[in-house]
Amino acid sequence: MTHRRPRIGVMGGTFDPVHHGHLVAASEAAARFDLDEVVFAPTGRSSFKQDQVVSPAEHRYLMTVIATASNPRFTVSRVDLDRPGLTYTVDTLRDLSAERAGADLFFISGADAIEQILRWKDAQELFTMAQFVAVTRPGHQLSVAGLPPDRVQVLEVPALAISSTDIRARVRAGKPAWYLVPDGVVQYIAKHGLYRGQDDE
């Protein structure tokens, strides 16, 4: 019997809140790259969002659990929440590959984030740890210049002009978030009064 190495997608994000853009990207990547599992890894503190107000980690974690609960292939990891200090993708990948020895990792990321990758900590090592799936998002022209072509693959997902920034602004303005995020996440936001009167960009 031949054993295929497990193929694990990793979706890192602030998930403040998680939305259908994230979920569609994960689902499309799973289909395209034949992934056995997609691990959602909510960030601790991101070095790129240090000047922003970010909701407490436990809220972001629980919303991610609610949003992914019904999909048997989706899981949520606490590696970045439980590690002290700023979150770096190199640490996320190191921890997850230690947990799942022998698996091939696919780091799924929006085009905006992928373009920044060369600025990430230990950028060159990252490409040895995982394949990178650059998901194109609406209104964004992807430039992968300077990235190793054999380790970065572009995946177009159906246009979803959804961002967490927009959802937070909508909630603050009293507009609905229904259908942009899973129902349970709308209810969680209301229950805990998230995104009311918070300063944001």
Residue 163 binds ligand ATP (CB under 6 A):
yes
From the list 8, 9, 10, 21, which residue makes contact with ligand ATP (rule: CB under 6 A)? 21
Closest CA to 131 of 6, 8, 3: 8
Q: CB of 102: closest distance to ligand ATP in angstroms?
A: 26
Q: Which stretch binds ligand ATP (CB under 6 A): 16-24, 71-79, 175-183, 186-194?
A: 16-24
| Contact (Cβ atoms closer than 8 angstroms) between residue 24 and residue 157 | yes
Q: Which residues have C-beta within 8 Å of that of residue 123, sequence separation ≥ 6?
A: 117
Contact string 98-127 vs ligand ATP (x = CB under 6 A): -----------xx-xx--------------
- Looking at beta carbons, which residue is closest to ligand ATP? 110
* Contact call for residue 13 and ligand ATP (CB under 6 A): yes
Beta strands in the chain (DSSP E): 7-13, 37-42, 45-46, 74-76, 86-87, 104-110, 131-136, 152-156
